[in-house]
Amino acid sequence: MTTPPPKLPRPKRKKKGESGGSGTLRADRERAGLNRDQDIHALPPEDGELLELDPKTISPNPMNTRRELRDMDTMIADVAERGVHTPGMVMHTKVFMECYPQWATRVEHPDRPYILGPGHRRHAAALATGQSMRAVLRDDVARNRRVEEELVSENNSRAGLSPIEQALAIDLLRQRVHEDEDRRLSFDEVVERAGYTAGTVSKYLALLKLPEEIQQAIHIGDLSMRGGYALSLLKDAEGRKDSSAAHALQLRGWQLMRDEKLSVEAAKNRLILEERQFHAGKSSGTPVAALPEPREESDATAERTQAHASHQQPSSPPEGNGQAAQHQAAPSPASPTITEAIDQAAPSPTTTETTDQATVEPSSSPDTDPLVLREAAAAQRDLACRLLLGSERFAKSAELSARLVTVVLNPGEWKQAAAKAHGWLVSLPIGPSGKKRPTDYFAAVASSGNTELMHRAAFAIGLAADEVRASQPDRTWDARDVAHVQFLVTSRASYQLSEWEQQQVDRLSREKQ
């Protein structure tokens, strides 16, 4: 016998006034204070409600870090055809301004009832096409002071943000007030909420300290983030990166990179050379602020003593550098970065050289002794050679081979060249420490098994052979000397010829004709 299915209870019709019954709408109207001629949709919207808004009733958010809205043609065409199908987010402008009084004066249209959270491209497209805009009301985001994070999260999910826009988004988080305490977020909290490593956050924020011209170059893609960060490390004489003097250095570095197509390393080298000329009374036409001297004065003095010893007495081991090297930690066989090379190789611009040193300050008189000009040029080349050796990529294989051939074919030059090369390498510092004699130093390099170090040391000897020859005061320059300075000009040192050197190059060029 088949059991009949159980009877389900019939739904009861709700009486007037009961929730869900025919009297519900009337009760809602009464609670809202609406008469029968007013629509129930006139009730204020609640958080989480999806709205269909006229875009002219929405103000852009002043916290938006995007400098420009890219690829808008595609967006406008899509909205014109299909409307804004992905809702944005809005808040009541009054609520936003109450919760963010520090931004209230920067609201573009404070009279509009709504202000955007994420969705500025969709809003711009809706305005351009006359379409309405869907948006979710989220006053709670303003009340909980999470607008910054919503904007940063939205931007991080979008492609095509420039490094400057990403930096501005991170800086926006840095200005954020903690939701539970009356304080700004700590650096660690910014790192956590930005979703980057601490190092990346620091590099992004460093870009915002650059002059506006360089920031714009990074934004439009003319300068990479890496290049911009390297320029941001340039400091004034007081060690500041955001002063007018530091900005002058940074702008000059960018000018060299842009106009002369120099790498950032070569541009920084050129700045050091220009700065040295400026303080020696040989301004190149562009006043350059002093580069910082990061080491202690005793270390800088020891290096200048070494540079003098290797220039004046190349046949004897430079004692000053050996002593300085003993006070330093044992250097790694790998080459230092260019920034380290610059910091360690650059002589102090403010110290007056004594008359028996290699660098002699030339007189501003047009009747300056040619010997003085020649010695000053030699000191500039000496600095350029050290800067080049401190560079990560110091030479191409053809340049290395050419200098090795020169030394092999002129064995009489080896002793003086090795002494000068030893002084350069120890002052950087590169290679084994505590080796005061060039022969001991290069023997240790040869037995190190470090191919890159051996190539750098061999190149240093070849380069020093050319420099020792060009620096001799009692000889006339020939084609080899011209080739030497022209190599420095085209190398990563980005050397600039002095007036005296240019005269020698011009003379030899005329003699060839």
Report DSSP letters for 66-134, one per residue.
-SS--SHHHHHHHHHHH---S-EEEEEHHHHHHH-HHHHTT-S-TTSSEEESS-HHHHHHHHHHT--EE
**Residue 370 corresponds to which tokens in the numbers above?**
């040619």
pLDDT of residue 512: 84
Q: Which amino acid is at 392?
A: E
Is 443 a domain residue? yes
The answer to whether residues 353 and 305 belong to one domain is yes
Going by C-alpha positions, the residue among 247, 253, 295 that lies closest to residue 272 is 253
The answer to whether residues 504 and 407 belong to one domain is yes
Going by C-alpha positions, the residue among 417, 445, 416, 415 that lies closest to residue 429 is 445
Q: Which residues of the chain have pLDDT under 50?
A: 10-23, 25, 40-41, 279-366
Given 235, 252, 279, the domain boundary residue is: 279
pLDDT of residue 349: 35
pTM of the model: 0.51
pLDDT of residue 302: 37
Sign of torsion over alpha carbons 212, 215, 221, 222: positive
- Domain count of the chain? 3
pLDDT of residue 6: 55
pLDDT of residue 332: 37
pLDDT of residue 115: 93
pLDDT of residue 290: 35
Sign of torsion over alpha carbons 164, 166, 171, 177: positive
Report DSSP letters for 16-81, one per residue.
TTSTTSTTHHHHHHHHHT--TTS-GGGSPP-TT-EEEE-GGGEEPPTT---SS--SHHHHHHHHHH
Is 20 a domain residue? no
The answer to whether residues 155 and 220 belong to one domain is no
Q: Evaluate whether 136 touches 49 at the Cβ level (below 8 Å).
A: yes
Element housing 401 (H / E)? helix 397-409
The answer to whether residues 214 and 149 belong to one domain is no
pLDDT of residue 323: 34
Q: How far apart are CA 54 and CA 48, in angstroms?
A: 18
The answer to whether residues 482 and 371 belong to one domain is yes
The answer to whether residues 219 and 77 belong to one domain is no
The answer to whether residues 227 and 91 belong to one domain is no
Which structural domain, as residue segments, surrounds residue 378? 297-512
Is 187 a domain residue? no
Which CATH number do you get for residue 123?
3.90.1530
Q: Give 494-507 pLDDT, tens digit per residue.
A: 888 888 999 999 99
Q: What is the DSSP letter of 40?
A: G
